[in-house]
Amino acid sequence: MKTKAELLPECPVATTVQLIGNKWKLLIMRNLLVRPWRFNELQKNLDGISQKVLTDSLRSMEADGIITRTVYPEVPPRVEYALSELGETMRPILASMQTWGENYKALKSKALQ
């Protein structure tokens, strides 16, 4: 059986896309850039995401080392998701995506006038 590293694409861009390249993972990371979030908070904030997709995305991102899952010993249990140290390295990339998106929207808006 191949390890996770052996299954990653040779191309570094393809590797990045494989790890975070879907709509929901990017939006989860956008939220986690601000602060840790609980599962229900994420689900309410991410309009249209199903419980299964959110669960699968969080599990995948945790397995890839992008986020951390902290379970607090309380009754009822409290679980929070946050960016890991590795996930924090995505901050400038997501900031660049935000800037590009803002510029694109401004250009499109000007073109429509």
> Which of these, 35, 89, 32, 83, lies nearest to 62 by C-alpha position?
83
Q: Report the 10 Å Cβ neighbour count for 31.
A: 16
Preceding omega of 76 cis (within 30 degrees of 0): yes
Of the pLDDT bands very low, low, confident and very high (cuts 50, 70, 90), residue 43 is very high
As a whole number, mean pLDDT of residues 16-41 equals 94
- Do residues 53 and 23 make contact, with C-beta atoms less than 8 angstroms apart? no
| pTM of the predicted protein model | 0.85
* pLDDT for the residue numbered 111: 84
Strands (E), 11-111: 37-38, 67-72, 78-83
Beta partners for residue 69, in sequence order: 81
Model confidence pLDDT, tens digit, residues 51-109: 999 999 999 999 999 999 999 999 988 999 999 999 999 999 999 999 999 999 999 88
User: Quick check: 35 pLDDT over 90?
Assistant: yes
